[in-house]
Amino acid sequence: MSAGFFNGKVAIVTGGASGSGRATALAFAEAGAKVAVADLALEGGKETVESIERAGGDAIFVGTDVSRPADVEALVARTVDELGPLSFAANCAAIEQETTRLADLDEETFDRIIAVNLKSIFLCLKYEIKAMLDHGRGGAIVNIASTNSFRPQPRQTAYTASKHGVVGITRTAAIEYARDGIRVNAVCPGAIRTPMLENRVAQRGGTIEETAKLLSLLGRVGEPAEVAKAVLWLCSDDSSFTLGHTLAVDGGYLAR
């Protein structure tokens, strides 16, 4: 997206401390938006804001546990108070902690993954949509789903369930708020070079190169900036007739 495309607009990016969330926050700022960066990782979130400010952009960091209603409500309220009416949101925060098959997965891990990956999407949509309805000028929201939303991987029971849910809630919200001028879509990343992917590969004793051969037709993993470009397109007027859509950024993995 070219510089200035979102001049004067305000965006929230959750999970903005690293990976695709950080890349998305940087991309919004480069295109002229004022950005609220939300994450539990304080140091990483502040580094994202500092990177934006060094480049001449405008950003704030809001420490946020996206699984807690009060935190999400406060995030949206502070964004509007300090930056202005909310136009865009990219709900990128997620975790993936599983190493076992379903029968060995403990309830605590299951509940935590569902809370961070799925309940958070409900909470973010709830308060982001309310803020957009309040100013009456519509907006665009992108939720980060996964190729697991369509093709599960072993030892990822809770993660897969959560990402199936993200697609369902995205489509429902798109139907409910289309006439209010609020477009809701999802991006489904495949194997993207993020700390989450690197940790998962390390846990399973593999390499990024081996993963790329299995999960991409291009023979490489994707980069966070490639996810960010998809998010910004779905927020832009160039996608004005696109809603309730799940856009795969997966190196062709789902085409197999």
- Residues assigned a catalytic role: 159
Residue where the block lists tokens 């961070």: 116
Angle, CA 1 vertex, CA 190 and CA 88 arms, to 5°: 80
Residue 189 phi, psi (nearest 5): -70, 150
Residue 107 burial by Cβ neighbours in a 10 Å radius (0-12, 13-18, 19+): exposed
- Look at residue 105 and give its three-state secondary structure: coil
Alpha helices in the chain (DSSP H): 19-30, 42-54, 69-83, 107-114, 120-135, 157-177, 195-203, 208-215, 224-235
